Amino acid sequence: MLTVPPQLVAQIQASDVQGREIIMVTGSTGGLGRAVALAFAGPGTHIIVHGRNIERGQAVVEEAEAVGSTARFLQADLGSLAQVRGLINTVKRDYNRLDLLINNAGIGRGQPNAPREESADGHELRFQVNYLSHLLITRELLPLLREGAPSRVVSVSSGAQSGGTIHFDDVMLENPPYQGSAAYGQSKLAQVFMTLDLEEELQGTGVTATAVHPGGYLDTDMVAERCVVPGDGCTPNLSPEDGAMFVVNAARSPRSGVYFNTSVIGEINPQALDTSARRRFLELSMQLIGLD
């Protein structure tokens, strides 16, 4: 495992965030996340760049600083809850508020017939990276978000949420046949569950929550991994910068507890509107991340 150089985890100076909007974007060393981080970059912001690759992370930091942001990189693999907790602890140590949390990091559907993978914690990998780790980050950083109110949580979901299903009897999808598309749809629907739970729980606190589908097939590594056969119907048709604008729109909107399909309010999977299903799922999820 890569060891993060001391300068990447050293405490920040108060002057780095004084008068600035503190924005954390998970998975922001490439693809959509990088475009989102740089879309927010400017004289009034402090960007917390997150990812696994130090060199790519530092490159984004330098790009953000070049346009007037202060910024830093924090390393963590969301496939390890221990590393996620390390990330959380660093943020809690170094910041007394958070203005905007963008849950962006994710794993796509993968190639057709790709085998099921597990996280370091033994969970189905897409379920953990796309949802469980973000649930842990969000829940543990709620005190900072309350201090930053009015503040916002934006979860980058997908149009796949509409066809997804939370498989209560097999949430880790251990029963064959495994399908990456089903795993992806479940994880993106789980983000919508989380968004609705947060909106309900945080009413009156000044902390709002939305989910957003950032457009079609973005020209990212995630899509490239899936689109292995030319002309298979998933050729990239949108740049990461275009997709980032939909995320920015969701972050700047006053709406809460909604799912944006690009820039308009989209339909939410009926399973997420079932309050008893959401309650059951939240209890299960909190147990899985050790916050029950």
Residue 2, in any domain of the structure: no
> Does residue 104 contact residue 156 with C-beta atoms inside 8 Å?
yes
Q: What is the pLDDT of residues 88-122, one digit of tens each?
A: 999 999 999 999 999 999 998 888 888 999 999 99
Residue 12, in any domain of the structure: no
Rg over CA atoms, the chain: 18
Tell me which residues are annotated as active site.
184
Based on the structure, what is the number of domains in the chain?
A: 1
User: What is the extent of the structural domain holding 164?
Assistant: 18-288
> Does residue 104 contact residue 39 with C-beta atoms inside 8 Å?
no
Q: What is the pLDDT of residues 193-234, one digit of tens each?
A: 999 999 999 999 999 999 999 976 654 555 555 565 555 556
Residue 117, in any domain of the structure: yes
Residue 5, in any domain of the structure: no
Displacement of CA 159 from its chain's centroid (Å): 15
Q: What is the pLDDT of residues 149-201, one digit of tens each?
A: 999 999 999 999 999 999 999 999 999 999 999 999 999 999 999 999 999 99
Residue 273, in any domain of the structure: yes
Residue 60, in any domain of the structure: yes
Residue 92, in any domain of the structure: yes
CATH number of 170's domain: 3.40.50.720
- Quote the pTM value: 0.92
**For residue 219, which phi and psi values (nearest 5 degrees)?**
-80, 75
d(CA 269, CA 181): 16
